[in-house]
Amino acid sequence: MTEKVKNLIIRPPIVAVLGHVDHGKTSLLDFIRKTNFVAREAGGITQSIGAYEIIHNGKKITFIDTPGHEAFSKMRSRGAIAADLAILVVAADDGVKPQTKESIEILNSAKTPFVVAVNKIDKSNADIEKTINDLTANGVLLEGRGGNVSWQAISAKTGQGVDELLDLVLLAAEMENLTYNPDADAGGVIIEAKSDNRRGIVVSVIAENGILKIGDKIATFGAGGKIKILENFLGEKTAELRPSSPALIFGFENLPQVGEKFQCGESAAGAPAADIISPIPRVQEIGVPAGGYFRIFNTILKADVSGSLEILSEIIKNTDFGNIKINILKESIGEITDGDVKDAVNSNAVIVAFKTKINKVAESFVKAQNIKIISSGIIYELIDLLKQEARLLEKPLPQAELEILKIFSSPKGKKQLIGGRVVTGVIKNNIRLKIVRENNEIGTGKISSLRRQKQTVNEVKTEEECGLMFESDILIKEGDHLLWM
């Protein structure tokens, strides 16, 4: 037992940074690392967990930068649990806000020691006393104010107080007596996982014990493999990494889940090889629940990394879309492929993409099949776009719909000669239609003549193309849709 204790080595602290959106968490790390990480984040908001290593007074500190927007509560809680310590950032001009309260609950639940950074003291409306009182009202009792939680007033913009804050972090780490056994098999936590077209499965981890080495067998509960390439957080290849250092691992045979614990060594042999992210069964019906009528809106989710995908899926499932039920048919990471597009065609689904692009093969297929893709690099904007699309289903369905493909002649008075394709239903001669442009109704008009293959006809069916003389005060454009309600 004595020999085991002698083998223990002090390791650097792993520190999570938590707080409300726009209270300056990433700006604080930006100043510490002397980089401009904020500018690279979509909308200025951190949207995935990143781990970074810095040196202060000759000692290393690993930071986990956790997202602050309300959409990322689950990811944020994982960051706190993976950390030894935390910095709770509260803006002096804003005080305690909903995500501040949630962060406090997460830290208390995980029993994670933390220090408080009262940020933005450089602003003219900063009120440190009010912020401290807000914290007290929420159970955070600061040193000198009736409690024992260390705190520091800072400006992440100017750097005032940041060195003193880091001193507090190192002092708190000493109190925790953080150690590791260099002779033990390496183990730690999965921070992020993604599938890269060029490099394969890339897994971000932080080791908590032992030493990570190339050639080690590695496994989580649901994934496994062998470390083929090991990189530090700067992307530099290395033969080994010690605990608390962020690492990128190449060699997993399938994707581990974010937040899973991993273990290296012979005990990691025989890890499961099946992908743990299973497609959700397809459903394509309209139902009538006990509470009344609803419509099913089929979706296929794509995201850049597994952590983002899980969060996106959870938010959609917990968002109120009125009488529209969002049915997630399939979830996967990486580029949108032709397989995804084929699935969307077969199930009449919309592809919802977060921070990922469409590959060239799928791009031409999308145009040919007229598949809808909702895409954004900011998750709450993506949810808003999905809500807009869902609201279209709340309106009465048209009996028929015609998509305008070509304008054949300039309007003569109110009459315009146009060509189109019937998307759904049957378009008939002498009916009045609504004109829809970019999902907005802009007017109405009437068909005065209907032709198919140069012959005058009384009706045109689904998937058939036609020419029509259309009477309207609105100038029709290619891409408009005409609806018969």
Residue in this structure with the two tokens 């290849």, named with its chain if needed: 237
Helix (H, G, I), strand (E, B) or coil at 75: helix
Residues of the chain with pLDDT under 70: 1-6, 35-49, 66-81, 267-295, 393-397
Structure tokens at 76: 């944020």
DSSP label of 432: E
Nearest one of 395, 478, 410 to 441, comparing CA atoms: 395
Q: Domains of the chain, with CATH numbers?
A: 2-180 (3.40.50.300), 187-268 (2.40.30.10), 295-394 (3.40.50.10050), 400-484 (2.40.30.10)
What residue ranges in 20-122 does DSSP mark as E strands?
50-56, 59-65, 85-91, 114-119
CB-CB contact of 86 with 17 (8 Å): yes
Task: Tell me the C-alpha to C-alpha distance, in Å, between residue 365 and each of 106, 339, 342, 358, 375.
Answer: 45, 10, 8, 11, 17
CB atoms within 10 A of CB 385: 15
> Which residue type does 150 have?
S
Structure tokens at 377: 């690099």
Residue in this structure with the two tokens 């204790």, named with its chain if needed: 5
pLDDT value for 474: 87
What residue ranges in 57-199 does DSSP mark as E strands?
59-65, 85-91, 114-119, 151-153, 179-180, 187-196
pLDDT value for 228: 94
CB-CB contact of 119 with 92 (8 Å): yes
DSSP alpha helices (H): ranges in 294-372?
A: 306-317, 338-347, 360-369
- H/E run at residue 98: helix 98-110
pLDDT value for 120: 95
Residue in this structure with the two tokens 């060594």, named with its chain if needed: 265
Residues 6 or more apart whose Cβ sits within 8 Å of residue 234: none
CA atoms within 13 A on the CB side of 91: 20
Q: What are phi and psi of 27, to 5 degrees?
A: -60, -35
Q: What are phi and psi of 283, to 5 degrees?
A: -135, 135
Helix (H, G, I), strand (E, B) or coil at 447: strand
- Sequence length of the chain is 485
Tens of pLDDT along 200-219?
Answer: 888 888 888 999 999 999 99
Task: Tell me the C-alpha to C-alpha distance, in Å, between residue 89 and each of 65, 92, 111, 165.
Answer: 12, 10, 18, 11
